[in-house]
Structure 1
Amino acid sequence: MGGMKDSDYKERFDSLKPIRWLLRRSASEVMPRGAVRPYDLGVSARTTEDRRGRDKDAGYARGCALEPVSEESTAVTHPFLDLAPLSAAHFAAIEDRVARLLSTEQDVVIMQGEALLPLEGALRATAGPGTTALNVITGPYGQTFGDWLRDCGATVIDLAVPFHTAVTAAQVRDAFAEHPAIDFVSLVHAEAATGNTNPVAEIGEVVRAHGALFYLDAVASIGAEPVLPDAWGVDLCVIGAQKAMGGPAGVSAVSVSERAWARMAANPGAPRRSYLSLLDWKERWVDGGRKALLHAPAQLEMLALEACVERIEAEGLDAVMRRHTLAAAATRAGAVALGGGLEPYVYEAGDAAPVATTLRAPSGVDAGALVAKALAADPVLPLVAGGGALAKEMIRVNHYGPDATPGVVHSCLAALGAAMAESGLTVDLEAARRATTKAWA
């Protein structure tokens, strides 16, 4: 194979421009007002003359052609390289702010990975041979948890309900009556993938009365609806910032009760000396007074998490949750008014998650094709077709985080309505607009 030509490097560099733009945008979220912003994310330079000399000698750096040098882009030091290391005290302070969002006195550990890391780590730490688990399935994540539990050697009783509804506390109580040996319950609070939410407060009462350990995936619900592990008797509550919180996906958190720590300590199969290990965090971080971190933290993600918590605190958690509640109500109302056969996927409004609204595509219309037409007109809309077996029938409106606004809801329904009209369906865009406006009032 021949070497790459200058034009090849230039093409590769140009292809990275959207990524560099996103990094600049992300930096603006975490850098304080008035701080220096990054301009050239491909290379670092201390002075204009230093960079010019190096560029002239090297020509290209790290496989990418260099952008034209300007005084604006080189007269400052790259801010990402100038960030002071994230201290243990700063890390602990961010954990404390996350704990306040949860209104919890439990230990909160921020793990350095997407929410699947604490979800799997917490489950494997507390379940194993001898565990009898009730695994509630209201969507794909519930199915995943059942697979993990079986991998751990647990005996699993699946309580599955149709994805267009929610589980009830009575169903959980009946499962306990039929299987009194159950000592572990896994539940997803809100399944963004299917658009339903489960009544955790009521279920928590039943679980507490039975005495089982309660494991909750609140990744999609935090910021969109109340998440109260202490009040609800949740022993392991995992959250992520990438949905309703409007934050980064690269770090996540779990609150852990004393009962859960004791279960982990008694479990010989609990991960240790592993990235999955919560016990490592307990012994080396929590019990050590949070003085020394286990490893180098994901600094930019931690700062982004801190920034998103600050935004929630400034707006008010109740106000953030209200935006999501209104967005869900407006989307449901607008979809019904739009007509053309589009309807809410989750039958009852009380079972519908505030974080995202799922819609059932009109009969005979492929949901994926409809979404593709809508996105062709406006590619930044938070619209996606359902996953897996639901890909042909479900449309998801991801009105979470910064997209929980009237404008986004209006735009999503308008784009779907236009796509439906293009497909030969009769729709009423003005009725949809009026319905969404009224629901938001």
Structure 2
Amino acid sequence: MSLGVFMGEDLLLMIPGPTVVPSRITRAMSAPILPHRGKEFSQMFLDQMERLKMVFRTKNEVYVLCGSGTAAMEASISNSVTEGDKVLCLINGKFSERFAEIAESFKANVIKLEFEWGDQVDVGVVRRTLYDNPDIKVVTMVFNETSTGVRNPVEEVGELVSDTEAILVVDTISALGGDVFETDLWNVDICVSGSQKCFALPPGLAFISVSDKAWRVIEGNDSMAYYLDLKNYRKDKAHAPYTPPVTLVYGLRESLDMLDEEGLENRWERHKELANIAREGLTELGFELLPLSEEICSNTVTAVKVPEGFDVSQFKRILRERYNIEIAGGQSHLTNKIFRVGHMGVITERDLYATLVCIELAMEEM
């Protein structure tokens, strides 16, 4: 059976990033290269950073770095942490675990609060740990844990951290622009994101916002960074300290135009509706959600458990080879125990319903 007429000829990326890049953005990126130190590009670059503040919901400065979201994660640590500093890492998935790995690579004294993969961070445990460790300098967490499809209580943790000397660093890479997130209202000091998820851009740009509280920490820190030294990005915002990917900045401008046209709150609502369709459709097909409750489920990626003996690799191969759809498997100890469906960026209801139909067909071929 072929669903080519319904699906189209291009591979449909239903993974949690990188996501489908619309033709409107690829056309914008095909414009002739401008000199990156020239007046026209510098103004464009500066304008996009100003526009990103709306997506971050912040008055803080937002900087564009060259690299994937992990570059911004590393920048948040390398600029704020010196060897021996105490860093509290809230871990309930692969990407929150990455913060701890980065902090350890910079020889921080890392406290790991580990929670079940599929559950939220426990705010009560965070409260007690902060009370017992008043010298904690940095707290890290992930808002939307891509590896498990769980949203974490950033607002509640932000309120706790704001009453301490520590700064809160949050990874919003797989949700910013696709789910409600309030950098300033939730007391987030450093917020990091990336281009290849809800912005529907190719990989290659990382975004980072920095609060005044965070800048005080950074300015008093002996940075171990060179390429990612945020003080260099702050000196002259219109000119990146190193050559930026010019065509990706063209794409960012187009992506933000599309976001303006849709409206940020409308986009949040669209992603919420897609998430509801995904959860309902997958559970009707007999799969169990990995998150312990629907209230903590992500609005951009849905993770479901598979039955014993279910071959996720074969399942993915059938979807790709027969139906031209790519989904994601599990990571780390969840390999071959779950699969994940991304529904972010410009993914439509039609894309999602087609994916659900093809998942059902692929199950029949297993």
What TM-score, normalized to structure 2? 0.88
Q: Match for residue 364 of structure 1?
A: 309
Pair 1:417 & 2:364 matched: no
Residue identity matched to 1:235? D
CA 1:352–1:102: 2 relative to 1, 3 Å:
same
Aligned-partner residue type, residue 113 of structure 2: L
The equivalent of 1:298 in structure 2 is: 245
CA distance in 1, matches of 2:223, 2:250: 34
User: How large is the RMSD of aligned CA atoms in angstroms?
Assistant: 2.3
Deviation at 1:260, TM superposition (A): 1.4
Stretch moving more, 408-417 or 188-197: 408-417
Does the 8 Å contact 1:134/1:185 carry over to 2?
Answer: yes
Equivalent of 2:25 in 14, 29, 32:
29
Q: 1:319 is matched by which residue type in structure 2?
A: N
Distance 2:224 2:80 in 1: 7
2:188 aligned counterpart, secondary structure: coil
1:252 is aligned to 206
Bigger radius of gyration among the two: 1
Counterpart for residue 166 of structure 2: 212
Aligned to 2:64, the other structure's residue is in SS state strand
Aligned CA distance change for structure 1 residues 26 and 407 (closer, same or farther; 3 Å): closer
- Aligned equivalent of 1:390, options 331, 334, 339: 334
Secondary structure in 1 aligned to 2:163?
helix
Shift of 1:103: 2.0
Instruction: Answer whether contact 2:94 2:331 (CA < 8 A) is retained.
Output: no
Q: Look up the match of 2:291.
A: 346
Deviation at 1:171?
A: 2.2
Please state whether the residue corresponding to 1:210 is helix, strand or coil. coil
Greater RCO (CA < 8 Å, at least 6 residues apart): 2
Partner Cα distance (2:131, 2:275) in 1: 35
Count residues with an aligned counterpart: 346
Partner of 1:320: 267
TM superposition shift of 1:382: 4.2
Q: Is the 8 A contact 1:126 1:270 kept in 2?
A: no
1:399 pairs with 340, 343, 351, which one? Answer: 343
Q: More helix by proportion, 1 or 2? A: 1
Find the aligned partners of 1:343 and 1:149 in 2 and give their Cα distance: 34
| Stretch moving more, 302-311 or 178-187 | 178-187
Amino acid at match of 1:302: V
Which residue matches 2:137? 183
Give 3-state SS (helix, strand or coil) of 2:168's partner.
strand
CA distance in 2, matches of 1:365, 1:140: 22
Letter in 2 for 1:369: Q
Q: CA deviation at 1:327?
A: 1.3
Please state how far the C-alpha of 1:87 moved relative to its aligned partner.
Answer: 2.5
1:148 and 2:102 correspond: yes
| CA distance in 1: counterparts of 2:54 and 2:256, whole angstroms | 10
Give 5+ residue unaligned stretches, structure 2. Answer: 1-9, 11-20
Tell me which of 224, 232, 236 is aligned to 1:285.
236
Q: With the length of structure 1 as denominator, give the TM-score of the two structures.
A: 0.74
Q: CA deviation at 1:227?
A: 2.0
Q: For residue 408 of structure 1, what is the aligned residue in structure 2?
A: 351
The corresponding residue for 1:241 is: 195
1:112 maps to which residue? Answer: 66
Q: Which string of whole-angstrom CA distances, capped at 9 and with x for unpartnered residues, describes residues 87-135 of structure 1? A: 2222111100001212211111111222221210121110122421110
Counterpart code for 2:176: I
Change (3 A) 1:190 1:201: same
**Deviation of 1:363 (Å):** 2.2
- Give identity over the alignment, percent: 24
The residue number in structure 1 matching 2:228 is 276
Contact 1:166 1:197 (C-alpha < 8 Å) held by counterparts? yes
* Whole-Å separation in 1 of the counterparts to 2:42 and 2:266: 31
Match of 1:192 in 2: 146
**CA deviation after TM superposition for structure 1 residue 317, in Å:** 0.8
Distance 2:195 2:205 in 1: 8
CA distance in 2, matches of 1:243, 1:159: 27
Match of 1:99 among 37, 40, 53: 53
AA aligned opposite 1:315: E
Matched to 1:304, the amino acid is G
